[in-house]
Amino acid sequence: MTVEVTIKPEVLKWALERSGLGENEIEKRFPKLKEWQSGSKKPTLPQAKTLAKAVRLPLGRLLLPVPTPDELTIPDFRTVRNANVESIGADLREVIQTAEQRLDWYAEYATEIGIAPPTILGVVSPSTPPEKAAEVVLESLGWDSIGHPEGPDRVRDLVHRMEDHGLLVMRNTIVGNSTSRRLDVHEFRGFTLREGPYALVFVNTSDSKTAQLFSLAHELAHVAMAAPGLSGDQGKRNHVERWCNKFAAALLIPEASVRSIQFDSDQLVVQLSTTATRFGVSREALLWRLVELKLVQKKDADRAVGLFKGEEAAQASQTVGAPPFPVLVRSRVGRRFLNTITGAALAGDLSEPAAAEFLGIGNKQTLQEVMALADEVV
- Taking alpha carbons only, the member of 249, 244, 255, 318 closest to residue 284 is 249
The end-to-end CA distance of the chain, in Å, is 57
- Taking alpha carbons only, the member of 358, 353, 369, 355 closest to residue 333 is 358
Run of H or E including 84 = strand 83-84
pLDDT on residue 341 = 97
pLDDT on residue 87 = 64
Please state, in angstroms and rounded to a whole number, the distance separating the CA atoms of residues 210 and 285. Answer: 9
pLDDT on residue 83 = 46
DSSP string, 239-289: HHHHHHHHHHHHHHS-HHHHTTS---GGGHHHHHHHHHHHHTS-HHHHHHH
pLDDT on residue 22 = 75
Biggest distance spanned by C-alpha atoms of the chain: 82
Across 344-353, b (16+ Cβ under 10 Å) vs e yields bbeeeebeee
pLDDT on residue 200 = 98
Please state, in angstroms and rounded to a whole number, the distance separating the CA atoms of residues 171 and 178. Answer: 14
pLDDT on residue 23 = 74
Please state, in angstroms and rounded to a whole number, the distance separating the CA atoms of residues 105 and 334. Answer: 15
pLDDT on residue 245 = 93
Residues of the chain with pLDDT under 50: 80-83, 151, 313, 316-317, 377-378
